[in-house]
Amino acid sequence: MSTGTITPYRSGQRPGRDDFPHLLWAEWTKFRTVRGWVIAMAAAAVLTALAVVALAGVSNGSQNAGANPAVAIGPGGEAVTDNFYFVYQSLDGNSSITARVASLDTELANAGSPPPHIAVPWAKAGIIIKAGTRPGSAYAAVLATPAHGVRMQYGYTHDTAGLPGAVSAASPRWLRLTRSGDTITGYDSADGRHWAKIGTARLAGLPPTVQAGLFAASPPLLAPACPPGAICPPGSPPGQSFASNSTLVPYTTQATAAFDHVSLRGGWPGGAWRGGQIGFPTGIPLLCTPSPGHFCPKTPAGGFTKSGGTFTLAGSGDIAPYVTDVDPLGTVLKGSLVGLLAVIALGALFITTEYRRGLIRTTFAASPRRGRVLAAKAIVIGSVTFAAGLVGAAAALPIAENKLHSGGWAASVYPVWSLTSGHGLQIVVGTAALLAVAAILALSAGAVLRRSAGAIAAVVVLLIVPLILGAILPQTYADWVLRLTPAAAFGLQQGTPHYSQVTSVCQPINGCYPLAPWEGFAVLSVWAAAALGIAAFLLRRRDA
C-alpha cells in the first residue's frame, strides 16, 4: 500500500509545558490506584497508634519520680527541682539588688576533710528574686557558674547567657536584678561600673512582697557507681577509677561561694538577713557507709556566715526543670516501629514493583528524565507517609499519656503535652517526619537495589538495628552508633525533654539520644539525601 505522497501525521494532543507537576500527578495517581498500598498506609497509621496506646496501657508507673520528695511543682503545674541554700530578706514593690560574687568553689559532699575539689559545671551562686520560699514558686535569678559563665535564669526552663568565664579572685562577677512590676531585668558587670543587660523576665502574678537575696546550689554529679566489692578509696573522685560502663549515679555536691558589695535599693523593709534551705538537696553522698561511730548525714550542711560585708554560702541542689531518668512516653512511642516497618516496605515497593513487572520501562518511556521521576516519587511517598504519621501520632499521643497517668505516672513529671506547640508538637511532627524520611530512604534503596527484599532489609539494618545496638552496647559505642546512623532521628520521640543546663542520665533506654532531636533528624535526612543522590545517578547510568 505504498502511496506516492504522504502527509506526515501530527499529534492532536497538546500537553502543557511544565512537566514536573505532571510527574507528581502521575506518581500520586500510581499510589492511590493500588488499593493495597492505600490500605497498608492507613494501616501503618492505625497500627502505630494502637501499638503506642497498647504499650502505654501496660506501662507501670507505681515507682515513678512523682513520689520523689525532691520534686516540686512549678508555677505552670510542671515538675521542677527547687533546692538551694537561700540568704534572703523581704522586698516590697519596685527595687533592686546588687552583689559581687568573689569566689565559687565546688566539692563532693561528705567526702572527707578537707573535701576534695571536683568540677560541677552547672553549680550556681548568685542573686535571686522569688515569689516566696515555697519550693516551686516563681523566680528570676542572675548567677555565676564554674563552666558556663554568668546566666540569667527564670521560670525554671529559661536560660540566657551573660558574661563568659569562671569566677575567680582576679575576675569577680557583679550581678544585678531590678524589679519593675511583673518585670525583672538582669544585668552583669566585670567591674561594678560598666553594666550589661542580660535579659528580662515577666513573672505574671508576682506578689507585691517577694523574697530576695543570695543563693548557692550545686546539682548532683553523675558518675559511675563504685561497683559492689570494689575498693573505692574515700575522697577519690568518681569517674576514671571506676568501671566505665557501670550505672551512673548522682553524687551529692556542694558549692561554696563568697559574696561582697551586697547592696539593696528601693522597698527593702530593712530587716535582718535570714538563711535557710529551700527544698531537699538531691543525690547520694559519696561513699558514706553507716558504721558504728560514723554517721552519714542525710543532707549536706548548707549554711552561711557573714563577716563584715562578706557573705559565705554553702549550698547543694539545683533550680531547674525536673528531668527524669526514665522516659515512659518515649518508650511507648517505640510502638511506632510497627508503622515504620510498614512505611519502609511501602517506600521500597513504590519502585521495586515497577522493576519486578517491567513497568519501570513504561515510566521512563513516558518521562525520560529519570532523576525527576525519582524526585516525584520521593515527594509523593514522603508526603503520604508524613500525613499518615501525623494522624497516627496525633491520635495516639493524648490517649497514651492518659493511660500512662492511669498506670501511676505522675502528671506533674510526665505531663500531657499540647499537640500544637512545644514538646508535643515536636513528638507528633517528629514522628511523622521520621516515618516520611524513612520511606524516602527505602524508596532510594529500592531504586538502587531493584529488589524489594534487599531494599527493605537494608533500611531495617540501617534504621532499626542501631536502635537495638544502642541499647546493648557500652555507652561510648552506643553513642557513636546513635550519632552516625539514621537511628539518630529517634531522638525526636524523646518523651521527656532534656535541657542543656541540666545534667541528666542520657541513655537511649531512657529515651535520650546523644544528638539533639532535630540534629538527629538531620543525620537521617543526610542519609536519605545521599541515598537519593546515588539512586538518581544509577538510574541515569543504567539501562532501564
Contact positions vs other proteins (CB under 8 A): 1-3, 6-17, 19, 22-23, 25-27, 29-30, 33-36, 353-354, 357-359, 361-369, 543-544
Q: How far is the CB of 386 from other proteins (least distance, A)?
A: 21
Q: Which of 141, 50, 91, 443 is nearest to 267 (CA)?
A: 91
Q: How far is the CB of 34 from other proteins (least distance, A)?
A: 5
Q: How far is the CB of 45 from other proteins (least distance, A)?
A: 21
| Contact status, residue 53 vs residue 43, Cβ threshold 8 Å | no
Q: Which is nearer to other proteins, 19 or 519 (CB)?
A: 19
Counted residue by residue, the chain has a size of: 544
Q: Which is nearer to other proteins, 192 or 368 (CB)?
A: 368
Q: Which is nearer to other proteins, 205 or 358 (CB)?
A: 358
Q: Which is nearer to other proteins, 8 or 69 (CB)?
A: 8
Q: Which is nearer to other proteins, 19 or 325 (CB)?
A: 19
How many whole angstroms separate alpha carbon 327 and alpha carbon 509? 8
Q: How far is the CB of 362 from other proteins (least distance, A)?
A: 6
Q: Rg of the chain over CA atoms, in angstroms? A: 30
Q: How far is the CB of 240 from other proteins (least distance, A)?
A: 60
Cis bond before residue 115 (omega within 30° of 0):
no
Q: Which is nearer to other proteins, 352 or 503 (CB)?
A: 352
Give me the phi and psi of 473, to 5 degrees please. -75, 160
How many whole angstroms separate alpha carbon 241 and alpha carbon 253? 18
Give the helix, strand, coil percentages of the chain, each rounded to 5. 40, 25, 40
| Contact status, residue 152 vs residue 142, Cβ threshold 8 Å | yes
Which residues, in sequence order, are bridge partners of residue 263? 98
Q: Which is nearer to other proteins, 268 or 364 (CB)?
A: 364
Q: How far is the CB of 25 from other proteins (least distance, A)?
A: 4
Give me the phi and psi of 128, to 5 degrees please. -145, 145
| Contact status, residue 258 vs residue 312, Cβ threshold 8 Å | yes
Q: Which is nearer to other proteins, 6 or 58 (CB)?
A: 6
359's enclosing H/E stretch is helix 359-366
Q: How far is the CB of 463 from other proteins (least distance, A)?
A: 27
Residue 411: other Cβ atoms inside 10 A: 15
Q: How far is the CB of 462 from other proteins (least distance, A)?
A: 27
Q: Which of 319, 322, 263, 264 is nearest to 139 (CA)?
A: 319
How many whole angstroms separate alpha carbon 292 and alpha carbon 482? 48
Query: What are 289's three cell numbers?
Result: 557507709
Query: What are 87's three cell numbers?
Result: 540568704
SS3 assignment, position 455 = helix
Q: Which of 441, 396, 405 is nearest to 45 (CA)?
A: 396
Q: How far is the CB of 148 from other proteins (least distance, A)?
A: 57
Q: Which of 275, 220, 225, 216 is nearest to 251 (CA)?
A: 220
Q: Which is nearer to other proteins, 183 or 367 (CB)?
A: 367
How many whole angstroms separate alpha carbon 218 and alpha carbon 236? 19
How many whole angstroms separate alpha carbon 253 and alpha carbon 83? 12
Q: Which is nearer to other proteins, 27 or 107 (CB)?
A: 27
Q: Which is nearer to other proteins, 30 or 130 (CB)?
A: 30
For the chain, the farthest-separated pair of C-alpha atoms sits apart, in whole angstroms, at 122
Distances (CA, A) of 101 to 19, 144, 145, 402: 68, 7, 10, 46
Q: How far is the CB of 443 from other proteins (least distance, A)?
A: 16
Q: How far is the CB of 354 from other proteins (least distance, A)?
A: 8
Say which DSSP state 435 is in: H
Q: How far is the CB of 466 from other proteins (least distance, A)?
A: 34
Query: What are 239's three cell numbers?
Result: 569517674
Q: How far is the CB of 455 from other proteins (least distance, A)?
A: 17
Q: Which is nearer to other proteins, 26 or 143 (CB)?
A: 26
| Contact status, residue 224 vs residue 249, Cβ threshold 8 Å | yes
How many whole angstroms separate alpha carbon 17 and alpha carbon 114? 82
Q: Which is nearer to other proteins, 41 or 55 (CB)?
A: 41
